[in-house]
Amino acid sequence: MENEKLYPKSTRELNEKKAALAPDNVEAWRNFSSTVFKAGALDEKTKQLIAVAVAHVTQCPYCIRAHTPQAMRKGASKEEIMEAIWVAAEMRAGAAYAHATLAMDEMEKHR
């Protein structure tokens, strides 16, 4: 499959090899991630919906594949997940439009 050339399948073996190359960093990352996704002011489902949305903005296929089922395990419906993705799409498009202000500023300088 063409996508597997671009995005190899994430396997336990590859993850272990990556971890072995920087074990202290991986341990710190895992602790950080575990802390971030614990329920706090936001519940775990909401945090996973945010992760799904951000994964779409950052266009990380590994994150999309990891956080979509996590969101469902935490109780998110398919409709909630899709709505979160639409919020992400609006924010990405909105940011492009908002940054047009920079282009307008430059165009005004070169009248």
Summarised one tens digit per residue, pLDDT across range 9-28 is: 889 999 999 999 999 999 99
Sequence-distant (≥ 6) Cβ neighbours of residue 64 within 8 angstroms = 52, 55, 56
- The pTM of the full predicted model, rounded to 2 decimals, is 0.85
17 in the same domain as 63: no
49 in the same domain as 34: no
Instruction: Provide the residue range defining the domain that includes 48.
Output: 44-111
Using pLDDT thresholds of 50, 70 and 90, give the confidence band for residue 97: very high
60 in the same domain as 29: no
